Structure 1
Amino acid sequence: MLAMFMAGFALLGDGLYIKLKAVLAQHLLQQAWQETLVTQAPQKAWSWADTYPVAAISFPGLDLKPVIALKGSSGEALAFAPGHLENTALPGQQGTAVYAAHRDTHFAFLENIKATDIVKVKDIKGRDHLYKVDNIRIARWDQSGITNENTSQRIALITCWPFYAQTPGPLRYIVEGHLIKNSTLH
């Protein structure tokens, strides 16, 4: 009985650790992001980081804090924040800007997003890019259909699906949108 209690406590602690790490990381990343906007140069959130903030993603009209996205989508980056997939477009560029994050932390809210919602992405230069959600779908990880070889300016936010699954699976929840506005706040 004691062994079962200890195992349960360990699993609970591990789950809380992941969520707490995600929250703390966003706090540190917010500070690095503000420095990045001032200097317009990459700023690491902690000295040993192998990545840095490249964007802030928010949903105007929804009661959500912006999430800071990191360069790259390695397991190390995704443990702390959404990651911008390398070799995909940057916000406002021709092609598709792709961001991935875990379903139980930074992209847990995606299940509440609907078509016509607005996604705002602030880039490293302080420019806002507004995208209108036009497609929400589920696809296998290796059959997403997302390509960077299009002439439009698009965004894709990707997380694992189903949202409350206990084990990893091959399906991904994909929220896509098209650029409706670029602006500069400076």
Structure 2
Amino acid sequence: MKEKFRRIVGLILIIVGLAIIGSIVYKKIDTSKKQKELQNILEEVINEEPRELTEEEEQKLINGYTPIALIEIPSINLSQGLVEGITDDVLQYYLGHFENSAMPGEKGNFAVAGHRVSDYSEAFVNLYKTEIGDQIIVKANKKEYIYEITDNFIVSPENVSVLDDTEDATITLVTCTVGAKERVIVTGKLVETKDL
């Protein structure tokens, strides 16, 4: 009787384990699909003249999210789409632009958030590996904005001064540390603008 019970419990644990693994794999595949869709859309949007999108266009583009730019960090092999906002539903799949911060190439602090690790997105999993002098390439509005990393440090979640506006064109990337107790901050300055 005990042997039969152990087998049943063992079988149940295997089924639960497989269900958990299946769920995680599904989420990663779903995220990869959504990010690829956004990148394809951004490739088209990047090469258009900047203009306001209608609600219908936004809905058609990426389920109501406003596409902003494609962000690349060659040193960590990152290429991710950026949309407006930093709500959970945005960061679940994409990088998010802090509303009211500067836009790509503008003077001021262009601030971006992304998950380090989650069930869905791991956009900034290697952000902490960037070094001073590495490039952050932002493609938007028929331009390629090249930022050079000036710092990489950790702050407490309460320290929001990293989002303060700046006089020059700068970029701030924000993600969590392991365990999400602190924040990894990478800052940079605009060094070059090219036409696409």
Could you state the TM-score of these two structures normalised by the residue count of structure 2? 0.80
For 1:183, the equivalent position in structure 2 comes to 194
**Quick one: which of 7, 13, 18 aligns to 2:16?**
7
Q: Which has the larger radius of gyration?
A: 2
User: Residue 170 in 1 paired to residue 193 in 2?
Assistant: no
Structure 2 unmatched runs, 5+? 1-9
For 2:134, the equivalent position in structure 1 comes to 117
Asked if structure 2 preserves the Cα contact closer than 8 Å seen for 1:32 and 1:44, the reply is no
Greater per-residue helix proportion: 2
Residue deviations 1:61-98, cap 9 Å, x none?
x3725211111111111111101111111111121111
For 1:89, the equivalent position in structure 2 comes to 102
Amino acid at match of 1:177: G
Asked if structure 2 preserves the Cα contact closer than 8 Å seen for 1:96 and 1:146, the reply is no
For 2:43, the equivalent position in structure 1 comes to 34
Aligned positions of 1:10-29 closer than 5 A: 10-29=19-38
Q: CA deviation at 1:6?
A: 3.2
Amino acid at match of 1:58: E
Q: Write the distance in 2 (CA, Å) between the matches of 1:83 and 1:128.
A: 19
Compute the RMSD of aligned alpha carbons: 2.2
For 1:153, the equivalent position in structure 2 comes to 169
Task: Sort the Cα spacing of 1:136 and 1:25 in 2 relative to 1 into closer, same or farther, 3 A.
Answer: same
Task: Sort the Cα spacing of 1:90 and 1:48 in 2 relative to 1 into closer, same or farther, 3 A.
Answer: closer
**What SS is found at the alignment partner of 1:146?**
helix
**What SS is found at the alignment partner of 2:41?**
helix
Could you state the TM-score of these two structures normalised by the residue count of structure 1? 0.84
Q: Write the distance in 1 (CA, Å) between the matches of 2:131 and 2:95.
A: 20
Q: Write the distance in 2 (CA, Å) between the matches of 1:176 and 1:59.
A: 13
Q: Write the distance in 1 (CA, Å) between the matches of 2:47 and 2:158.
A: 38
Q: Write the distance in 2 (CA, Å) between the matches of 1:150 and 1:170.
A: 26
Amino acid at match of 1:129: Y
Structure 1 unmatched runs, 5+? none
For 1:68, the equivalent position in structure 2 comes to 81
**What SS is found at the alignment partner of 2:161?**
coil
Q: Which 4+ stretches in 1 moved above 6 angstroms?
A: none
